[in-house]
Structure 1
């Protein structure tokens, strides 16, 4: 496993009395150390220790997941698989591991969060730890290192015994680093977590890891192997670890012993779909509801999008039922085909739509709604015309231009960023030449062409806002700041990842 990417820094000891240091992701500081006490030792060593593990988005994905519609998802707790896992029976055949599997968009993450909350209420005395991978998030959110730091963080925060073990390692790190910046390496965190699990006797331990398929692909099996090794260690007498994982059917991952629950095959899950449709469809109709349930094939995301399309069709005309029936007949049963239909709407907006998709697909850092709006409006000219626009209008514009496939998330505090509504949207755009189908100028290599376009947009913007002949003289103060933007569009936050990512100076642009 690789350490954190270049946009992440984990600082070690605080030096002197005049330095405040913390963890940063990109240009966002997470939590600052308190001012140093005598000898450079933090006043609260426990908090300083925890900060070397924590990161801004540590709980973001879990918080992003919406609560299920009332009276749905509870069927999970009546399944044989859940009861076997809960009671730790037949350990020789499952090692206390429950794997929730399903197709993209089936609703696995919603089930995982619901199960987590159920266990927190049902087993208040247990140690419960959870990590939700997020392929649409920051570097750490989709990396094994992020998972390891989160698990270690929760262990040492919730129980004094592992904290005392970890504090010794933290103190040793501070001493051996000799004042240099440092960060925890995956092998160190693996060894610590394994040691804690092997010795764990005090109370039952539940570990939830959601969306294994959203981890960096080259490292998925390594994550599974590590988690499986924990389950094997915990299957010994006296240890009470229960491990719950979720993932797609593909890519295939090796887990020798586990209980498996296939979401889309469960009849009660299909009943949940019917409950959702009744709650959200603009006009109740038994035939339409039954047809939606039949065509959905257990894919909740398909249902969410189709209900939205049917409600839109009903809103346009007075004969609501007939309009919905006609629209439903034309909608295919595959999720990716629904995306294709959505992109066919309002073709006159397609140039802006493609540019917005490119920014969300390829920007190095997660963009705020304001930056995405300004970048799309500026377009290839680099000049943003709007001088006054409120947040609601920005949100409506993003929803309209993206065909409802980009959402605004609040990963931490008051910070908002944009992302696709589901990982399957990204999959759709990058597979089967879908992106270049929307814009044929991206042929034959849409990824490289997109990087070049975003690079050109940034360069045009820099040239528009500076009269100097060299970009080296451009500073924060020379960038234009619109009233609705907290930060200007700058080359650091808007340059694309990979490809043409360095803005040349002077005539080299």
Structure 2
């Protein structure tokens, strides 16, 4: 059957037509109200009928493949046909009652119209009766639509919407049933028999139309909210929150005491420029536990109600987690999570321009910022939001982004924000206000004593020890005194004491643990490693090295693959492309978990929930400080445990290749499948780039084989589409004059150039020089403009000063004959050199709103300019000129990016190379002339 909502919309259009007919007949519109000889009635009538025709055409196209329309569809089509017939009659009557614009004698024309109105009385009565018949059919049609009882009926569709809203937690009270009952009541009212009562009939019809429109609007609003909220949801939206342990209720009560902190006063404050509260503390000091506690405690909500007053109040949170997936540590994850919480709570705040997006469409940062600004400027809706953002120091981008990012949020008087971080960060100065901030360590010593006491005194054996004297009480006090505000230390030492108590150790042993258990966590981590059996030490080192270098936690299955590598180094190439399901490997999880524990102690933990990309059981560090310790303090020690050649980065490439081979891909056009494939691919390319920096010749050969196999695997997954699989990636957003077109001619070598795999590309070019000749964008363009959309963030884009343009790749391609003056037909014949200049101009201009591009990137741009000039870039003296921007050319671009002095050096080099080429050309001509003589 055709879409019942579309049918309802079509019927609503017919109601408008009937109502209009009633108004014409009842004389509610002046027949003398002419505009240029054509009444507004005719113009309005034409518009109504045209809308009906369009909706009817859509309905007919939906049922054109069916052998026979349903009774309802037949009923509606007949109503449309009746409307068309009545439309012609209405036109005739309106024309009779319209004053002709070309007449010279207005009074005579007025008399003619008056006479026609008398003569038309009977025909208008007849037309009125026909409109009443159509009115009756409309009402019965609406009843048929609303009272259908099957899976695709209107009410079934509306119930599905309600269920979807409930499942997504969307706070929108739908009124489908109330509106439906009102419509059924109106359609059941008795029809008036006489034309004199048409005005009253029209009023009923208008009321019916208003209710149908309300139902359609309710459907549209609900559908929009579901699509937008679904598009904002991501699997890890609460993962970090759920991983944080709950604190004892008494542990953090101090934060609400106004004699200790101003937190309660801040929650209640309505003062302007008072939107931010800042909490800082050392690693492991309990910031995340505190943030989780206050974000859920009823006292927080109660005090915020003083601020929100009569307005709706919503509380949300985001917990950065540097060890987690991309969405747990990025600005995108933060903004998307907060928007998800805001729009789920207040769907009426959804901006009109995003309402039409599909639920699988990815949000870009500009869209999210624009949506926040729209929300911040709303005055129609009465809602207030308080957000708790934990772990700003675990954000994986530039620290300079933090303050502007938070200021976007608190620019609205409707938003409060409480944030936590480690101390000593660049953003601290602009965020921290002395009366709206504190160091958590000032208040936790007594909480720690309570925690230790509660944990130890419930143990029966510890209770017996306590009867022997004051030693046990001293141990409790000593732990909180030695902790120096670090909860993680308290947790670990308490756990060790309980371990020994359960094995019947005495007071002296317990006191020795406390005394030797230095507050230096690194020493404790070393002790855990020392306890691991020597026979497992090499595998421990391999496991830790892999987890230290990974971009995001791996599923437990990955560590089974690492184990496979120890006996079959080429396993990743030998493994067939074959989907692996969670059901297949679930029985093996207990064994794999035990092996990870045996080799890594408690330093790695396993989350049994679904992995954000594939399979389940994410393997992660017990605490961020563990990763910091292994990476910064113990990396060389791990290397010393290795007795065989081992590259964690090459191993990660093998693991990700196998994950791609095992990935179930039913439909390559499915957005979720594509995102998983592109995400795993980009991780592999990142590890390959990192490995290329210091790899041996043998490791490079292995990498080359893995990369070639990667192309084959993804080509297999994409075998149902015509273009190369690299086209599945979305194109980067346009930045002014810098935009990206592929023309269907992207390939894996181009992606390798973008990924800066210089050694791999060199090997490919040496093996086959012809592959330099590529259609669409030249390879040099990919090296100079390597932007690509990726579902993940790589460290070299964020935490390290590593430029995206690789001068080695540029020089490699130039050495193999790449021509910077080559015209690119996809870009209206612009040269590669010109496209590069426009790109760096836009990148430099885009950064103008915040910080300038990193110096390392500018250095790479400048070196690339020099390299291209050496081989003749712009040696034809044809300067780059931008259409529509006469002031934008080679000189202004170079000056704007590098400054006038450095720009002049480059332009002098261009002139020198051009002059030399001219001289060489003249010399060549002279030699040819002599030869001819």
- Indicate the TM-score class for this superposition, using the shorter chain for normalisation: 0.7 to 0.9
Aligned pairs for 1:236-251 within 5 A:
239-251=413-425
What is the distance in 2 between the residues matched to 1:191 and 1:44? 22
What displacement does 1:162 show? Answer: 0.8
Aligned to 1:265: 442
**Is residue 2:519 matched to residue 1:339?**
no
Q: Structure 2 residue aligned with 1:216, among 396, 401, 407?
A: 396
Aligned pairs for 1:51-450 within 5 A:
51-78=230-257, 79-88=260-269, 91=271, 95-119=274-298, 122=302, 125-163=312-350, 165=351, 167-171=352-356, 183-199=362-378, 202-218=382-398, 220-231=399-410, 233-234=411-412, 239-253=413-427, 254-256=429-431, 258=433, 259-266=436-443, 269-281=444-456, 283=462, 285-316=472-503, 318-348=504-534, 349-372=536-559, 374-378=560-564, 380-382=566-568, 391-410=589-608, 415-432=616-633, 434-440=634-640, 449-450=647-648
Q: Give yes or no for contact 2:331–2:397 (8 Å, CA) kept in 1.
A: no
CA separation of 1:410 and 1:42: change in aligned 2, threshold 3 A: farther
What displacement does 1:494 show? Answer: 9.7
CA separation of 1:379 and 1:332: change in aligned 2, threshold 3 A: farther
CA separation of 1:496 and 1:103: change in aligned 2, threshold 3 A: farther
What displacement does 1:62 show? Answer: 1.0
CA separation of 1:507 and 1:121: change in aligned 2, threshold 3 A: closer
Three-state SS of the structure 2 residue aligned to 1:207 is strand
Q: Give yes or no for contact 2:403–2:431 (8 Å, CA) kept in 1.
A: no
Q: Structure 2 residue aligned with 1:500, among 672, 691, 694?
A: 691
Q: Give yes or no for contact 1:131–1:210 (8 Å, CA) kept in 2.
A: yes
Aligned pairs for 1:483-494 within 5 A:
none
What is the distance in 2 between the residues matched to 1:319 and 1:365? 41
Q: Give yes or no for contact 1:352–1:376 (8 Å, CA) kept in 2.
A: no
What is the distance in 1 between the residues matched to 2:384 and 2:245? 28
What is the distance in 2 between the residues matched to 1:441 and 1:42? 61
Q: Give yes or no for contact 2:548–2:627 (8 Å, CA) kept in 1.
A: yes
What is the distance in 1 between the residues matched to 2:540 and 2:682? 21
What is the distance in 2 between the residues matched to 1:299 and 1:162? 41
Three-state SS of the structure 1 residue aligned to 2:418 is strand
What is the distance in 1 between the residues matched to 2:635 and 2:421? 26
What displacement does 1:261 show? Answer: 1.6
Q: Give yes or no for contact 1:131–1:208 (8 Å, CA) kept in 2.
A: yes
Three-state SS of the structure 2 residue aligned to 1:58 is coil
Greater RCO, CA 8 A, separation 6+: 1
CA separation of 1:370 and 1:320: change in aligned 2, threshold 3 A: farther
Aligned to 1:38: none
What displacement does 1:493 show? Answer: 11
More helix by share: 2
What is the distance in 2 between the residues matched to 1:335 and 1:252? 25
What is the distance in 2 between the residues matched to 1:276 and 1:190? 42
Can you list the C-alpha shifts for 1:354-405, whole angstroms capped at 9, x where unaligned?
Answer: 1221232233553223443x24543522489xx9965445434433322201
What is the distance in 2 between the residues matched to 1:411 and 1:224? 33
Three-state SS of the structure 1 residue aligned to 2:234 is coil
Q: Give yes or no for contact 2:541–2:641 (8 Å, CA) kept in 1.
A: no
What is the distance in 2 between the residues matched to 1:391 and 1:158? 38
CA separation of 1:255 and 1:494: change in aligned 2, threshold 3 A: closer
What is the distance in 2 between the residues matched to 1:395 and 1:493? 27
Three-state SS of the structure 2 residue aligned to 1:73 is helix
What displacement does 1:191 show? Answer: 2.0
Q: Give yes or no for contact 1:142–1:215 (8 Å, CA) kept in 2.
A: yes
- Once superposed, what is the RMSD of the aligned Cα atoms? 3.8
What is the distance in 1 between the residues matched to 2:222 and 2:707? 51
Gaps of 5+ in 2: 1-61, 63-167, 169-219, 306-311, 464-471, 572-584, 665-679, 693-701, 710-933
What displacement does 1:151 show? Answer: 1.4
Q: Give yes or no for contact 2:606–2:618 (8 Å, CA) kept in 1.
A: yes
TM-score (normalizing by structure 1): 0.72
Aligned to 1:12: none
What is the distance in 1 between the residues matched to 2:561 and 2:252? 40
TM-score (normalizing by structure 2): 0.41
Can you list the C-alpha shifts for 1:403-449, whole angstroms capped at 9, x where unaligned?
Answer: 201112255599431211111111111113x1221332679xx9x94
* Number of residue-to-residue matches in the alignment: 421
Aligned to 1:50: 229
CA separation of 1:243 and 1:417: change in aligned 2, threshold 3 A: same
What displacement does 1:293 show? Answer: 0.9
Q: Give yes or no for contact 1:364–1:497 (8 Å, CA) kept in 2.
A: no
Three-state SS of the structure 2 residue aligned to 1:130 is strand
What displacement does 1:60 show? Answer: 1.1
What displacement does 1:249 show? Answer: 0.3
Q: Give yes or no for contact 1:442–1:450 (8 Å, CA) kept in 2.
A: no
Aligned to 1:34: none
More strand by share: 1
Can you list the C-alpha shifts for 1:279-326, whole angstroms capped at 9, x where unaligned?
Answer: 32353611111111111001001111122223334445x333222222
Gaps of 5+ in 1: 1-15, 17-30, 32-40, 463-471, 478-490
CA separation of 1:53 and 1:188: change in aligned 2, threshold 3 A: same
CA separation of 1:287 and 1:382: change in aligned 2, threshold 3 A: farther
Three-state SS of the structure 1 residue aligned to 2:625 is helix
Can you list the C-alpha shifts for 1:221-241, whole angstroms capped at 9, x where unaligned?
Answer: 31322212433x33xxxx343
CA separation of 1:102 and 1:507: change in aligned 2, threshold 3 A: closer
